[in-house]
Amino acid sequence: MISVLVDILSWTSFIVGGFFLFVGSLGMVRLVDFWARLHAASIIDSAGVGLILLGMMLQGGVSLVTAKLALIVLFLFITGPTASHAVANAAFMSGSRPHDMVEDVTATVPPKPNKGKPNKGKPKKAKAASSAKSSNTAKASKTIRKKT
Amino acid sequence: MDHHLILRVITKILVAPILLYGLYVQFHGDFGPGGGFQAGVIFAVGFILFGIVFGLRRLRRIFPDYVVHQLVALGVLLFAGTGIVNMALGGNFLDYNVLGEKGYQGQHWGIIAVELGVGVTVFGVMMAIFYSFAGRPPSLDDKEW
């Protein structure tokens, strides 16, 4: 009875973890920009692999294997978000911003112009957005949002 | 470097377990998966992580260049020296059976010594590769990130 229950739980977490792996890898290919793709990649790290390892721990029972898997989960949950943070931090510091971000309310670091692309720096963008708001045409603000 | 706070904290947490795991793989190699090569790489990864986050200068204070280069040679010396010792005790080159009173004991000691040599060499080579890559003058200053 209890073994059937454990089997059901572990296979459920296997399937859900596999679903998260699939969704994460699909998102890494299909999502719009770097930040959304980074989010998808970190879903693979935490939810997908975490649930699959949880299923393995349930299959392993109380044993040395389960302890080792728990250590793997622990280190994965420390290192995965750290790696995502490092990548995101490097991208943010080098001036990348989400593609539909209009106002930079959080930035202490001004975004830098990308190589070969026109300058999309903070002051210019803010001025353009405010002027669009003052002229009060929805279409103009929409085009600016698309351009940024 | 002040925006690398999380990386520094996590690195301080992680370096010691990485080194411990490297030693585990090194000395568990004759019972289970592992061995000298993997242990050397893992042990070097601990120091390389430290060097990436805290800077090459502080890593060079722990392992100066000449120590790394001599570690490469020391591992080969351990490997070949085990073989020479076996020959001196009356066996063939790397014939571990003469090292202990019974054959399997000698094989145990011999494999541990040889794997230690492999591990030391791989550690030294990994550190030397990291030094020669990371020691180049950077094309981009750290402030420009």
Higher pLDDT, B98 or B84: B84
Q: Please, are residues A111 and A126 in contact by the beta-carbon 8 Å criterion? A: no
pLDDT digits 0-9 by tens, B32-76: 777 889 999 999 999 999 998 888 889 999 989 999 999 999 999
Tell me whether residues A78 and B13 touch, CB distance under 8 A: yes
Quote the CA–CA distance of B5 and B16 in Å, as a whole number. 18
Task: Specify the pLDDT at position A130.
Answer: 44
Domain extents for chain B? 2-138
Can you tell me whether residue B72 is helix, strand or coil?
Answer: helix
Confidence at residue B112, expressed as pLDDT on a 0 to 100 scale: 87
Per cent of chain A over pLDDT 90 is: 41
Report the pLDDT value the prediction gives residue A133, as an integer from 0 to 100.
42
**What per-residue confidence (pLDDT) applies to B45?**
94
Distance from CA of A33 to the nearest CA of B (A): 20
Closest residue by Cα to residue A117 from A147, A81, A78: A147
Neighbours of B120 (CB within 10 A): 24
Q: Do B6 and A75 touch (CB under 8 A)?
A: no
pLDDT over threshold 80, residue B145 = no
Which residue does chain B place closest to A78, by CA atoms?
A: B10
Structure tokens at B75: 């591992």
Residue position matching structure tokens 């089997």:
A7
Query: What is the domain partition of chain A in residue ranges?
Result: 2-93, 98-148
Confidence of residue A110 (pLDDT cuts 50, 70, 90): low
ipTM over 0.90: no
Q: Mean per-residue pLDDT for A73-92?
A: 90
pLDDT mean over A77-102: 84
Asked if B17 contacts B99 with a C-beta cutoff of 8 angstroms, the reply is no
A119: contact with B, CB 8 A cutoff: no
Q: What is the per-residue pLDDT across B98-136, written as a single tens digit (0 to 9) for each? A: 887 787 888 888 888 889 999 999 999 999 999 998 888
Say whether B13 and A75 touch across the interface (CB within 8 A).
no
- State the pLDDT at residue A102: 63
What pTM did the predictor assign?
Answer: 0.73
- Residues of A within 8 A of B3 (CB-CB) are 89, 93
Q: What share of chain A is helix, strand, coil (3-state, %, to 5)?
A: 75, 0, 25
Q: Which residue has the higher pLDDT, B143 or A70?
A: A70
Beta carbons within 10 angstroms of residue B107's beta carbon = 16
The more confidently predicted of residues B144 and A30 is A30
In the structure encoding, which two tokens stand for residue A109, read together?
A: 């670091």
Q: Is residue B12 scored above 60 in pLDDT?
A: yes
**Spatial distance between the Cα atoms of A99 and A145, rounded to a whole number of angstroms:** 9
Q: Please tell me the predicted confidence (pLDDT) of residue A148.
A: 43
Of B3, B13, B17, Cβ closest to residue A89: B3
* pLDDT of the residue at B35: 82
